[in-house]
Amino acid sequence: MREYGELRSILPHGPQMLLVDRVEWLAPGRALRAVKAITGSEPCYQHLPPGLPRERYAYPASLMLESFGQAAVVLWASGPGELSLDGRLLMFAAARDFRLEGRAFPGDVLRHEIEFERSIADSGFAAGRIWVGDQRIATVGSVIAVVRPASLLPARATARGS
């Protein structure tokens, strides 16, 4: 179990981009189950005028994949001495076979079931499924994250809050 406050310490994302709310079950370094609640107050819905059909509120696949990837990183970081994000940046490197079988809407809770497959050097590989209730809405063949020294990227201190 990892509550939101702990996830804030594990992942470098600011609250608006932190797309995991809770880890419900964790087998360190091997598998986890994590949830992300979708609400209509999220930024991805703010530009929509009233009167649109329901389908227009399907949670964007890009954010669904980001949420899954963040949960996968929490799993990676739970392994024995595998991953330190201190002074390093986490990057999404690749994905394969992310297949959407259903949709999620405001009010739904995404549930990620993830298995960590392996890490090679600074790359971590994971796979899994995404559920809403008892309906599987996506399968993820693999996501690959890499960590890089933060010094490789220029600091953008002026970008904060702008």
Partner 1 sequence: MTPLYAAPLPAVDQVQVRRAGPGLVVTATKDIVTGDPYLAAHFPGRTVYPGVFVLETVRQAAIAALGEGPGGLAELSAVCSLRFAGAMHPGERLCAEVTITPVAGGGFRAAARCRRADGSDVARMTLEFRYPGGAGA
Q: For residues 57-96, which are near partner 1 according to CB under 8 A?
A: 57-63, 65-66, 69, 89, 91-96
Q: Does the footprint of partner 1 cover residue 9 (CB under 8 A)?
A: no
In angstroms, give the least distance from the CB of 162 to partner 1. Answer: 5
Options 1, 9, 15, 84; binder of partner 1; rule CB under 8 A: 15
Sign of CA dihedral 7, 148, 80, 95: positive
Q: Which alpha helices (DSSP H) does 52-106 contain, by range?
A: 61-77
**For partner 1, which is the closer residue by CB, 1 or 52?**
52
Query: 27 or 153, CB closer to partner 1?
Result: 153
DSSP 50: T
Cβ atoms of 150 and 104 within 8 Å: the answer is no
Closer by beta carbon to partner 1, 14 or else 28: 14
Is 114 a binder of partner 1 (CB under 8 A)?
no
CB 72 within 8 A of CB 116: yes
CB of 142 to partner 1, least distance (A): 10
Task: Establish if 159 lies at the interface with partner 1 (CB under 8 A).
Answer: yes
Does 157 sit near partner 1 (CB under 8 A)?
A: yes
List the end-to-end C-alpha distance of the chain, in Å, as a whole number.
35
Q: Which two tokens stand for residue 50?
A: 């009233």
Cα–Cα distance measured from residue 131 to residue 41, given in angstroms and rounded to the nearest whole number: 21
Helix (H, G, I), strand (E, B) or coil at 124: strand
Q: Is 109 in the site for partner 1 (CB under 8 A)?
A: no
Interatomic CA distance for residues 52 and 132, integer angstroms: 23
Question: Which spans of this chain sit near partner 1 (rule: CB under 8 A)?
Answer: 12-18, 43-49, 52-53, 55-63, 65-66, 69, 89, 91-100, 150, 153-157, 159-162
